[in-house]
Amino acid sequence: MKIASWNVNSVKVRLPHLIEFLKNAQPDVLCLQEIKCLADDFPRLEVATLGYKVEALGQRAYNGVALLSKEPPREIVYGLPGDDGDDHARYIEASFGPPGAEARIASIYLPNGNPSGTDKFAYKLGWMDRLNDHAANLLRREMPFVLAGDYNICPTDDDVYDPVAFRDDALCRTEARARFRALLNQGLVDGYRVFHREPHKYTYWDYQAGRWQRDEGLRIDHLLLSPHAADRVVRCDIDKSPRGKDRASDHTPIWCELAV
């Protein structure tokens, strides 16, 4: 099972790149973030011609997450549990794969949290606390799961091109990193780090100041695997090719493969 994650930064604007990625990469499940449209406005027909089903939790003009899959999803969860008053479209989860070898897969768009010290940062930390609680509930089910998406977290200084400049940024603040480590301390595994120990490999490059051209990026898109999923992972990597295209998203896909 090939699982990919990509913050497309507007699915309508990046639709040609999305179609090309689906054709070339052929993921079984693609987790999208920042689709920036309502679920009913998602370009379903275009991806359906490639054999993909779509489940989306959308929001007009910003946020929004989706699951694109070759097989129909089951047991779909719309929204991160724990706060019925949270109307941000940031979490969708479903089951995929044959009985006995199925996996729960979530597409996550974690809050950015900037500027630090504001209500936005408090919302980010609270959202991460809820994610940790939900991960604990998923672990009790003792089935493989993958929490995939844009976490807006650089886990360590190795994951940011300029740690000094980003020291007080919400993506690198101690409080946010501690909550990311709490996920790992529950037993979740950073899929990319299973196969890649080298520092300064990125999934995001800002549009400004030639960050892409100078490879000044951030690793903020992650695939966190439950222990059962980590036992099955056979490869994981970052696909930089979409970021180099005209009118590209500022993020690029990350993917892994699980043995069935």
**Catalytic site positions:** 109, 150
CB-based contacts of 155: which residues, under 8 Å, 6+ apart?
Answer: 177, 180, 181, 190, 219, 222
In the numeric block, which tokens belong to residue 229?
């999923």
The C-alpha atoms of residue 42 and residue 71 are separated, in whole angstroms, by 18
In the numeric block, which tokens belong to residue 28?
């079984």
In the numeric block, which tokens belong to residue 42?
């998602």
The C-alpha atoms of residue 73 and residue 3 are separated, in whole angstroms, by 13
The strand pairing partners of 255, in sequence order, are 4, 237
Where are any strands of DSSP class E within 34-110? 53-57, 65-69, 74-78, 91-96, 103-109
Q: What separation in angstroms does the CA of 77 have from each of 57, 61, 89, 130, 232?
A: 10, 22, 12, 15, 24
